[in-house]
């Protein structure tokens, strides 16, 4: 007869059998009644799956022999009818509540209906290669290489278990009348209670609790190597039959032996290690500052099936909920912050009942000195002092800048007053004296002398007017605006009406910066004064202005090839009755810099102005 490779009970209760040698038979009152295949379909192909439809047809899948249907005493090949490749063999078959036949199709699922087939490439169950299909009421269950899925209301729902269980390698599914679900697969038999199944159907994201039966319960062999499809069935008495390569096993869900103990025992702490060093167990454990890793070993006394004991633990202060440890008997924590914690662990027996008692101890991680409250307060106070000092420094800088601007404005007003006194006021005073003299001569009858005096008064008035206009024009020229010293210096030849025979050159070294007032105005006036002196007094033919932006200071040099400067002028800091050089030095001092004037060896003069970097611009300029 050969090895039975497929079993199926149809709607009428008839049990059908398929063998590894290719024959098909049904169980009758008198024994096995074989159903012969036609010669063109006969062979020794393994029967992998049997299913039936509501019309009374029997569907048979044979390894390399294709899909067949037996109806009204005749066999019919289905591969060509439904456009399938010749010899392709479904591994799973099932009829749903609507009379449709479902089968596996590679990585997805296929349905046969009204002479057509449909593959679900979009919205497929996502459980890999399907090896089990079962229809129960309005649901279609399927098991595959990557888990279990159910189709209800035209939608696939993936079944997931607690602790990340995916029920991989499921090759048999049984749903009992009371709603209890049994799965057969690589890990043995898995039971999901009816309450958990109902909760999952209402909330598909729910991870179901389950109970597993394996070697520890007397189940021998592997269903993956048995070749039977399906690997799990339920009989009329409600027993679950499971086929493996070591035989057939059964279990009665109504009479499962349970642990007789009233409640699981409390877990026991075995030891504690801190940074791979064992420390004595204590209800109040203090860890030194800088401790990084904490390891706690624990167990629970269970003599019946210790491999089934499960644990949960938590560290109050770190974990918001219990951590599922499974059968692992060790808890690890790293990089604990200073503070107080409490470690707790509970256990469950092989029935899934959790102990009400727990093992626990308190942990205190001592802080390093930089983690203490007084250190934080000291750093806060230090930060406040630094902020206060920074604010005071900024206020002092702003005050100094305002004072420099004020002194520059006052100095400028004093210079204007001196210029007005030396020019306009003296001219007006002389004009008044000339007019008064002419009036007296008119009173004495000296008309000719009076006319001469008035004529000279008019000349002096015109001269004073021209001089005043020149001074006003010079005041207008004496200002630099914006933040670009180079642009202001470039305007000097035009403003001072530089003769054509005098060559001017501007050199800039380093990255130019944005200048601020009053430094820009003061440096500009110094360059203007040195420029004017080179033209008026030194008779220079070449004038070079060189601006160098260094790391710590900014240097401005004005070189000319004129007649040079006398030694006595250098020695006294200026010529008698002239205030150009003293004024330049005063302006340099207002900017926080120094001014140096020296005669060049080959003839000519060099005026060098040096300023600190922070006084010579607030930042790089992007042209």
Domain boundaries, the chain: 136-257, 268-368, 373-476, 480-620
In the predicted model, what is the mean pLDDT of the chain?
82
Q: The domain 480-620 is classified under which CATH number: 3.50.50.60, 3.10.129.10, 3.30.565.10, 3.40.50.1370?
A: 3.30.565.10
pLDDT by residue (tens digit) across 107-119? 888 888 877 888 8
Bridging pattern class, strands 211-213 and 47-52: unpaired
Report long-range pairs for 145-148 (Cβ below 8 Å, ≥24 apart): 145/169, 148/173, 148/183
Is residue 17 over pLDDT 90?
A: no
How many residues does the structure list for the chain? 623
| Rounded percentage of the chain residues whose pLDDT exceeds 70 | 86
Q: Hey, what CATH class is 268-368 in?
A: mainly beta
The pLDDT score that the predictor gives to residue 265 is: 74
* Residue scoring higher pLDDT (261 or 538): 538
pLDDT at position 269: 92
Report the pLDDT value the prediction gives residue 477, as an integer from 0 to 100: 52
Helix segments in 50-203, DSSP class H:
194-202
- Among 297-306, 391-400, 608-617, the range with the most confident prediction by mean pLDDT is 391-400
What are the tens digits of pLDDT across the range 84-97? 887 778 888 888 88
Per-position DSSP letters for 581-605, written without gaps between them: HHHHHHHHHHTT-EEEEEE-TTS-E
The two tokens of residue 138 are 């309005």
Q: What is the pLDDT of residues 178-236, one digit of tens each?
A: 999 999 888 888 999 999 999 999 999 999 988 888 776 777 767 654 455 677 888 87
Q: What is the pTM of this model?
A: 0.51
Residue 229 pLDDT: 61
Which CATH class for the 136-257 domain? mainly beta
Residue 534 has a pLDDT of 82
Hunting for tokens 């479902």 — which residue is that? 102
480 pLDDT exceeds 70?
no
pLDDT band for position 617 (cuts 50, 70, 90): low
Sheet harboring 58-62: ordered strands across?
A: 47-52, 58-62, 66-71, 74-77
Residue 251: strand pairing partners:
240
In angstroms, the Cα distances linking 364 to 5, 288, 289, 334 are 63, 9, 10, 14
């Amino acid at each position: 007869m050969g090895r039975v490779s497929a079993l199926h009970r149809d709607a009428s209760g008839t049990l059908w059998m398929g063998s590894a040698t290719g024959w098909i038979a049904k169980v009758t009152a008198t024994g096995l009644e074989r159903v012969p295949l036609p010669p063109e379909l006969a062979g020794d192909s393994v029967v992998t799956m049997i299913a039936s439809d509501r019309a009374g047809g029997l569907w048979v899948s044979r390894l390399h022999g294709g899909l067949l249907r037996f109806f009204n005493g005749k066999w019919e090949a289905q591969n060509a009818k439904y456009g399938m490749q010749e010899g392709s063999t479904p591994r799973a078959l099932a009829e749903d509540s609507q009379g449709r036949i479902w089968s596996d199709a590679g990585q997805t699922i296929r349905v046969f209906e009204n002479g057509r087939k449909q593959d679900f490439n979009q919205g497929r169950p996502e459980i890999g290669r399907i090896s089990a299909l079962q229809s129960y009421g309005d649901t279609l269950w399927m098991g595959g290489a990557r888990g279990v899925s159910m189709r209800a209301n035209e939608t696939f729902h993936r079944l997931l278990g607690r602790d990340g269980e995916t029920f991989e390698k499921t090759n048999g599914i049984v749903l009992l009348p009371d709603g209890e679900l049994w799965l057969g697969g690589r890990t043995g038999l898995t039971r999901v209670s009816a309450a958990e199944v109902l909760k999952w159907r209402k909330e598909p994201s729910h991870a179901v609790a389950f109970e597993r039966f394996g070697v520890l319960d007397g189940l021998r062999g592997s269903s993956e190597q048995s070749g039977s499809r399906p690997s799990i069935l339920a009989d009329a008495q409600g027993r679950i039959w499971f086929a493996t390569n070591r035989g057939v096993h059964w279990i009665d869900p109504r009479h499962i032996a349970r642990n007789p103990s009233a409640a699981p025992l409390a877990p026991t702490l075995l030891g504690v290690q801190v940074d791979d060093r064992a420390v004595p167990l204590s209800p109040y454990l203090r860890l030194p500052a800088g401790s990084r890793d904490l390891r706690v070993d624990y167990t629970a006394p269970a003599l019946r099936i210790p491999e089934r004991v499960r644990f949960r633990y938590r560290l109050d202060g770190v974990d918001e909920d219990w951590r599922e440890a499974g059968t692992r008997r060790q808890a690890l924590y790293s990089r604990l912050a200073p503070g107080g914690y409490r470690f707790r662990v509970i256990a469950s027996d092989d029935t899934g009942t959790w102990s009400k008692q727990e093992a626990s101890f308190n942990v205190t991680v001592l802080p390093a000195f930089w983690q203490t409250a007084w250190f934080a307060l000291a750093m806060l106070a230090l930060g406040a002092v630094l902020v206060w000092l920074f604010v005071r420094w900024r206020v002092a800088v702003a005050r100094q800048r305002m004072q420099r601007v004020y002194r520059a404005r006052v100095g400028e007003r004093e210079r204007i007053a001196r210029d007005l006194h030396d020019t306009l006021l003296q001219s007006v005073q002389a004009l008044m004296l000339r007019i008064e003299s002419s009036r007296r001569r008119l009173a004495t009858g000296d008309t000719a002398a009076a006319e001469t005096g008035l004529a000279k008064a008019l000349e002096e008035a015109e001269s004073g007017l021209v001089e005043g206009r020149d001074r006003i024009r010079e005041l207008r020229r004496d200002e630099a605006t914006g933040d670009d010293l180079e642009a202001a210096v470039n305007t000097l030849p035009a403003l001072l009406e530089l003769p054509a025979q005098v060559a001017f050159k501007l050199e800039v070294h380093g990255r130019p910066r944005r200048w601020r007032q009053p430094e820009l105005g003061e440096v500009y006036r110094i360059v203007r004064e040195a420029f004017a002196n080179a033209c008026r007094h030194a008779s220079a033919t070449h004038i070079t202005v060189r601006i160098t932006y260094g790391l710590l200071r900014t240097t401005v040099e004005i070189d000319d090839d004129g007649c040079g400067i006398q030694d006595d002028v250098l020695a006294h800091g200026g010529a008698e009755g002239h205030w150009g050089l003293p004024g330049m030095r005063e302006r340099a001092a207002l900017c926080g810099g120094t001014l140096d004037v020296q005669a060049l060896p080959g003839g000519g003069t060099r005026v060098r102005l040096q300023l600190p970097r922070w006084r010579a611009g607030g930042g790089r300029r992007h042209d």
